[in-house]
Amino acid sequence: MIAELGLAMLWLAAALALLQLAAGAGALTARGGELAGIVRPVAVVQGVLCAGAFLSLITLFLRTDLSVKLVATNSHSLKPVIFKLAGTWGNHEGSMLLWVTVMALCGGFIALFEKRLRQDTMLATLAGQAFVSLGFYAFMLLSSNPFERLAEPPPEGNGLNPLLQDIGLAFHPPTLYLGYVGLSIAFSFAIGALVTRDVGPAFARAMRPWVLGAWIFLSLGITAGSYWAYYELGWGGWWFWDPVENASLMPWLAATALLHSSTVLAARNALRAWTVMLGVVAFSMSMIGTFLVRSGILTSVHAFAVDPERGSFILALLTIYIGGALALFALRASTISEGTRFAAVSRESALVFNNVMLSAILGIVLIGTLYPLLTEAFGEKVSVGPPYFNPMAAIFFVPMLLVMTVGPLLRWRDDRAGRTTGRLALPALAAAIVALGLVAFAPVIKPLPFLGMALAVGLAVASVLPLIGRDLRRTPLPTYGMVVSHLGIAVALFGVGSDSAFSIEKLVASRVGETHSVGPWKVTLRDIEPVAGPNWTALEAALAASYDGGSPSILRTQSRNFTSPPQQTNESALHTRWNGQLYAVLGEEADDGRWQLRLWWKPFVPMIWYGGILVGLGGLLALIGRLSRDIKRTRAEAKIAYRRERQGR
């Protein structure tokens, strides 16, 4: 019954999306004025219905209703409740429903709260949003119905991929999804603005909170995903340039560029065409990433639906939306009049530079991700990995970091280079001290980590400079947001540099009772015992680890075996200190009673993720600042209107 209800709500929501598109488009024509009134309410109801359908699916998973095909193939009655919940979106159909639900809810929110846009641009935006949603509704209703029933329910479900049975993974995909799909709003805004040729500061201000919101989720989602890969996959790395990782990085790069260019557009009415272009590109990257992961066209460690038929469906959607939007852009962009000019040394120039660098990195990641596909078309299989991505990205990342230190100190429109050079002495000094320290104490360090750590410290100092000499209580929240986010980049960069420069790895075959040293640590294998969980059995090693002769702490690492579906995973053990992490993984039993044990000492590695969290936090501060300013302005305007009305009487 719940499944049928969910399906019915999904069909209704799809029908309303069609109505929203038709009414929105109709209202833009000369004689369709009276249609305008229904677009907003329809968008709201569509959001509610779609959310209802998603809630139905969640309920089916929580109840483990095995008569529903999706539940039977992805869940199991023995699974802990939290993973039953995660099972809802841990599969193709469920994640598509989550996708369209987020889109529909965002549309509903715009309809309810967005008041700044011109009426016609608003209608075009909502119509665009409905148009994009429709494709995804069609995809689900015609080719991958999440509510499909089975004629004969099986006695037990198939379970969920054990790698995904992890608390991090339960919430990592929806976080990323909110980011991906949030960018659909930017896309719809861009289309709306192109249709009505209304690209100006008001458009940028209306779009910016949505981009910020999506960007926060993307930042946190990428951070969480990276940490998950680090501790769950047991290989001690935090980024592999895997297609799935790249699929999340590319929209983030585009959204970061969009965030900065929309600031220029909002403040200075410049970069009009470029901002609209980025609005299209950011969401395109979400869709292209999803396509690459879903179609099975690229092999990845965690691509999860190898299915050319679904691949072609998403490809068709991609072609219509991205191709259509880019064609619209090509036709209309020349008619968006140019924005305000600015001088070579100015805040705008720094932001343009940032945009160009981010776009270049985006291009490099995209090329690297697609390159295996290109060579495969010519019959050769290659894989592109860190040896390509790291140096290529660094070529553009390093100059961007340098400009990041200066940019926030520059004035809008026109500035003198001499004015800021004095203020840069402090960060330059900090970077120089770190560089000298590294040369003195770690002379064998590779150039990229060396550069990264020195630049990170310089950037960290530079990023707080915009606060110096200001009244801190009157400094706007978005300025704090910028400071915190830039600081986060510096912190993460320091962690990355330190990890690649100073990590120590040791692979040992250990008998119980033996002690091994890794960096400043002494690690003793105390014992190995079998343990059992709700749906797995494991061998658990207890390790006594002491830092620099201190008192030992006990770490437990497991090699787990899941039975349904059968799979083995390694649960790494982590011990975090202020100056780094000890990382241990239990391997297989070698001959003569010895056990494989992999140990790492990774100085300052947690800073990578602390930095990621700071980046997201900065975004949140900026978002709160922007929204509260909007609310204040709306209230003030209402007050003025009220007074005028009374005086008029």
- The HSE-up count of residue 275 (CA atoms within 13 Å, CB side) is 35
The two counts, helices (H) then strands (E), for the chain are: 19, 9
Q: Tokens 């020195």 appear where?
A: 454
Q: How far is the CB of 281 from other proteins (least distance, A)?
A: 5
Asked if residue 193 binds other proteins (CB under 8 A), the reply is no
- Of 188 and 286, the one with the shorter C-beta distance to other proteins is 286
- Report H helices in 88-200: 92-113, 119-138, 167-196
521-532 β-sheet, strand order = 515-518, 521-532, 536-547, 553-563, 566-571
What distance in Å separates the CA atoms of residue 56 and residue 97, rounded to the nearest whole number?
11
Q: Looking at 210, 329, 389, 609, which residue binds other proteins (CB under 8 A)?
A: 329
What are 412's two structure tokens? 């809008």
Asked if residue 327 binds other proteins (CB under 8 A), the reply is yes
What distance in Å separates the CA atoms of residue 237 and residue 168, rounded to the nearest whole number?
16
Asked if residue 195 binds other proteins (CB under 8 A), the reply is no
What distance in Å separates the CA atoms of residue 2 and residue 266, rounded to the nearest whole number?
46
Q: How far is the CB of 588 from other proteins (least distance, A)?
A: 5
- Of 315 and 398, the one with the shorter C-beta distance to other proteins is 315
What are 302's two structure tokens? 């965690």
- Of 306 and 433, the one with the shorter C-beta distance to other proteins is 306
- Of 284 and 510, the one with the shorter C-beta distance to other proteins is 284
By rule CB under 8 A, what count of residues binds other proteins? 58
Q: Looking at 272, 294, 486, 575, which residue binds other proteins (CB under 8 A)?
A: 272
Q: How far is the CB of 401 from other proteins (least distance, A)?
A: 18
CA angle 473, 479, 481 (to 5 degrees): 105
- Residues 524-563, interacting with other proteins (CB under 8 A): 537, 539, 561, 563
- Of 348 and 499, the one with the shorter C-beta distance to other proteins is 348
Asked if residue 566 binds other proteins (CB under 8 A), the reply is yes
The count of residues in the chain is 649
- Of 212 and 281, the one with the shorter C-beta distance to other proteins is 281
Q: How far is the CB of 354 from other proteins (least distance, A)?
A: 10
Asked if residue 356 binds other proteins (CB under 8 A), the reply is yes
- Of 339 and 497, the one with the shorter C-beta distance to other proteins is 339
What distance in Å separates the CA atoms of residue 390 and residue 250, rounded to the nearest whole number?
15
Q: How far is the CB of 356 from other proteins (least distance, A)?
A: 4
What are 356's two structure tokens? 């160009």
Asked if residue 330 binds other proteins (CB under 8 A), the reply is yes
Provide the strand spans (E) within 590-623: 595-603
Give the three-class secondary structure for 546: strand
Q: Looking at 48, 85, 150, 333, which residue binds other proteins (CB under 8 A)?
A: 333
Asked if residue 281 binds other proteins (CB under 8 A), the reply is yes
What distance in Å separates the CA atoms of residue 121 and residue 109, rounded to the nearest whole number?
16
Residue 41 is given by DSSP the state H
Q: Looking at 565, 593, 631, 643, which residue binds other proteins (CB under 8 A)?
A: 565
Q: Looking at 359, 405, 500, 572, which residue binds other proteins (CB under 8 A)?
A: 359
Asked if residue 277 binds other proteins (CB under 8 A), the reply is yes
What distance in Å separates the CA atoms of residue 256 and residue 357, rounded to the nearest whole number?
11
DSSP string across 407-461: GGGSPSS---HHHHHGGGHHHHHHHHHHHHHHHHH-TT--HHHHHHHHHHHHHHH
- Of 55 and 315, the one with the shorter C-beta distance to other proteins is 315
Asked if residue 414 binds other proteins (CB under 8 A), the reply is no
CA 289 to chain centre: 11
Q: Which residues bind other proteins (CB under 8 A)?
A: 254, 270-274, 277-278, 280-281, 284-285, 288, 291, 295-297, 306, 308, 311-312, 315, 318-319, 322-323, 326-327, 329-330, 333-334, 338-339, 352, 355-356, 359-360, 362-363, 366, 370, 373-374, 376-377, 537, 539, 561, 563, 565-568, 588-589, 591
